[in-house]
C-alpha cells in the first residue's frame, strides 16, 4: 500500500485538492495552533515590513500535514509578495535552480518543499544565492570555462522539510529562522474541524467534531480529510447531518481506530509486535515485512507511533513499548520495559539495519 492510497494522506482528485486549498488560513491571525511558531513568525515579518525589506530566509521542519505549505503562503500574504512554489525532487541540476532564481522579482517568496531532497550541485549553488544574492553561471568547458556572476533580486527562501537531519549544516546555517512544527492538541484540531465544516457547509454536532479531533493524529490535514469522508458517509447513509454515530461509523469503515491509527500504523505496530516479538528490528527489515517503503514508514507512521509511546527508536533498531503491546490487546514480554528505556530522539539518525 503506497502513501498515496492512505485515506488520511492522499490527494484523491482535483476537487479535493481545490477544497483543501480553500480551507487554508490566509493570515497568521486565522492560523490555529503552533502558537510559538506563529508568534515568532509574526515578529520576523513585522520587523521586515517596518524595514521595508524582504524577510530573512525561513526553514519549516516537521512531519507531513502540520501546515508548512500553509505557513509559506501566509508569509507571502503577510509580506504582500508573490510566491513561487517548487520542490527539491524537481531540482536535479544546478541549472534548474539557476533558471528559477534568475526569474524571481524583488521581494518574491520562493517556497522549496522537500528541500532535503535537492541535488548536491543545486544545494551548493543555493548557498551563494541565499547569502550574497548572486549565482555564478559557468560558460564553456574545461580549462576555458569562465564563471560569470549573475546578480539576483533580494528574495526570501522558505524551505520545508520532514527530515531536517538530512540537511547539510552549511544550508541550515543560512536560514535566518528555523521553526520546528509540533503535532496539534485535540482541542486545536476540533477548532480546525469546526472551521472547515463551516466553510464547506457541513452540518455537524459538537460530539462529532470532538471525535474527529481526537482521531486526527495531531495533524490538520488528517482532520480535514476525515471530515470529508465523514461528510460522504452522512450524505449516503443519513440526511447529511453529521452526528456522533455517523462519525464513528464512517471512521470504522475507513479503518481509523479510536486514537487515529490507520491501516499503515497498525501494520507497522503489528509487524513489530507479532512478527519480531517487539524488536529490536531495523527499519528496512520492518518495511519489507509489511511491503512498504522505509521512507513512507519513517515519514508517515513512525512519528505518530513514537509520539503515542507505542514504539521507540534505539541504537539497535525499532522496538515496541509495553503500551504498543497493550494497544493490540497483548501482554508485553519480560524485558520490554527495559528495552523501551533505550529510545533515542525522533529525528536522530536511524539505527543500522546491519
Told to judge if 221 belongs to the known catalytic residues of this protein, a careful annotator would answer yes
Distance of alpha carbon 232 from its chain centroid, rounded? 25
Catalytic annotation, pick one of 6, 68, 217, 228: 68
Residue 35: Cβ-neighbour burial (10 angstroms; 0-12, 13-18, 19+): exposed
Catalytic annotation, pick one of 6, 69, 217, 263: 69
Told to judge if 113 belongs to the known catalytic residues of this protein, a careful annotator would answer yes
3-state secondary structure of 248: helix
Q: Where are the beta strands (DSSP E) in 101-193?
A: 109-113, 134-139, 146-151, 156-161, 177-180
Contacts of range 88-93, beta carbons closer than 8 Å, 24 or more positions apart? 88/112, 88/113, 88/114, 88/115, 88/116, 88/117, 88/118, 89/114, 89/117, 89/118, 91/118, 91/119, 91/122, 92/119, 92/122, 93/119, 93/121, 93/122
Told to judge if 68 belongs to the known catalytic residues of this protein, a careful annotator would answer yes
Residue 257: Cβ-neighbour burial (10 angstroms; 0-12, 13-18, 19+): middle
Told to judge if 241 belongs to the known catalytic residues of this protein, a careful annotator would answer no
CA distance 342 to 307: 15
Catalytic annotation, pick one of 221, 229, 263, 318: 221
Told to judge if 172 belongs to the known catalytic residues of this protein, a careful annotator would answer no
Catalytic annotation, pick one of 6, 9, 70, 113: 113
Catalytic annotation, pick one of 70, 156, 162, 321: 162
Catalytic residue IDs: 68-69, 113, 162, 221
Amino acid at each position: 500500500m503506497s502513501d498515496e492510497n492512505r485515506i488520511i494522506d492522499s490527494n484523491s482528485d482535483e476537487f479535493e485538492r481545490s477544497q483543501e486549498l480553500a480551507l487554508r488560513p490566509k493570515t497568521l491571525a486565522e492560523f490555529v495552533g503552533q502558537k510559538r511558531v506563529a508568534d515568532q513568525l509574526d515578529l520576523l515579518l513585522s520587523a521586515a515590513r517596518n524595514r521595508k525589506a524582504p524577510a530573512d530566509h525561513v526553514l519549516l521542519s516537521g512531519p507531513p500535514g502540520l501546515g508548512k505549505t500553509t505557513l509559506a503562503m501566509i508569509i507571502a500574504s503577510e509580506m504582500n509578495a508573490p510566491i513561487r512554489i517548487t520542490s527539491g525532487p524537481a531540482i536535479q541540476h544546478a541549472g534548474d535552480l539557476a533558471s528559477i532564481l534568475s526569474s524571481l522579482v524583488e521581494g518574491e517568496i520562493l517556497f522549496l518543499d522537500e528541500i532535503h531532497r535537492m541535488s548536491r550541485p543545486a544545494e551548493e549553488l543555493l548557498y551563494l544565492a541565499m547569502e550574497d544574492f548572486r549565482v555564478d553561471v559557468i560558460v564553456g568547458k574545461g580549462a576555458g570555462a569562465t564563471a560569470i556572476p549573475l546578480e539576483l533580486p533580494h528574495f526570501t527562501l522558505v524551505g520545508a522539510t520532514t527530515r531536517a537531519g538530512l540537511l547539510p549544516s552549511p544550508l541550515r546555517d543560512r536560514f535566518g529562522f528555523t521553526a520546528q512544527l509540533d503535532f496539534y492538541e485535540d482541542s486545536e484540531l476540533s477548532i480546525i474541524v469546526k472551521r472547515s465544516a463551516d466553510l464547506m457547509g457541513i452540518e455537524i454536532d459538537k460530539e462529532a467534531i470532538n471525535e474527529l479531533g481526537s482521531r486526527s493524529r495531531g495533524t490538520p490535514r488528517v482532520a480535514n480529510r476525515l471530515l470529508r469522508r465523514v461528510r460522504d458517509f452522512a450524505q449516503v447513509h443519513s440526511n447529511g447531518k453529521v452526528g456522533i454515530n455517523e462519525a464513528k461509523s464512517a471512521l470504522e469503515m475507513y479503518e481509523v481506530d479510536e486514537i487515529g491509527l490507520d491501516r499503515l500504523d497498525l501494520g507497522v505496530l503489528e509487524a513489530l509486535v507479532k512478527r519480531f516479538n517487539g524488536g529490536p528490528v531495523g527499519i528496512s527489515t520492518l518495511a519489507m515485512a509489511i511491503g512498504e517503503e522505509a521512507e513512507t514508514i519513517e515519514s508517515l507512521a513512525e512519528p505518530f507511533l513514537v509520539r503515542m509511546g507505542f514504539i521507540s527508536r534505539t541504537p539497535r533498531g525499532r522496538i515496541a513499548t509495553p503500551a504498543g503491546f497493550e494497544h493490540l490487546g497483548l501482554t508485553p514480554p519480560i524485558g520490554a520495559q527495559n528495552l523501551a528505556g533505550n529510545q533515542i530522539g525522533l529525528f536522530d539518525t536511524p539505527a543500522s539495519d546491519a
